Amino acid sequence: MDTDSVEHLDGPVDPEVLPAPVDGGSAGVDESVDDEVDESIEHPAKVMRVGTMMRQLLEEVRSATLDEASRDRLRDIYATSVTELGSALSPDLREELGRLALPFAEDAAPSVDELRVAQAQLVGWLEGLIQGIQATLFAQQMAAQQQLAGMRRGELEPGETQGAEARPGTYL
């Protein structure tokens, strides 16, 4: 078995690429592959690290008084975080992030309120993304458990045929 993948009932699964929900649904569960938009997270650990860092920064911005130099630094951290997040996402999610995380003006340091709003928006988007991942994983786990329970009961999957012992007649 490949060490980069995990064996799953449907075949090997790459643990570094997690599907994200499509339009509030659960990706990979009872959906046609042709109808799915490619929304995936190629590096979920990176998304979690950046999200945790952004949440902590938001708390710091709320509690600290910031001078112009610290606001400039936070603007740079925000821009770098958005870029790093984008590199861990599928093109569709990267585009969505780009539409939501607009850059600050370069000519002046952003106000404390602008920083708070931008970081809160990014943290909220990340939390929604993470909740979507959790819902997708839960739905996949439930589908796998149902499939396993069906196999244990001897039920057949759609498209499978019965074994020779269940067919009437003589086989030559």
DSSP state of 164: G
Measured on CA atoms in the order 147, 152, 153, 155, is the torsion positive or negative? positive
Distance, in Å, from the CA atom of 126 to the CA atom of 146, rounded to the nearest integer, reads 30
Phi/psi at 161 (5° precision)? -110, 160
Q: What pLDDT does residue 156 have?
A: 59
**Which of 29-43, 85-99, 149-163: highest mean pLDDT?**
85-99
Q: What pLDDT does residue 82 have?
A: 92
For residue 167, what are the contacts with CB-CB under 8 A and spacing of at least 6?
none
**How high is the mean pLDDT of the chain?**
76
Q: What is the pLDDT of residues 92-148, one digit of tens each?
A: 999 999 998 888 888 888 998 999 899 899 999 999 988 988 898 899 999 999 998
Model pTM above 0.75: no
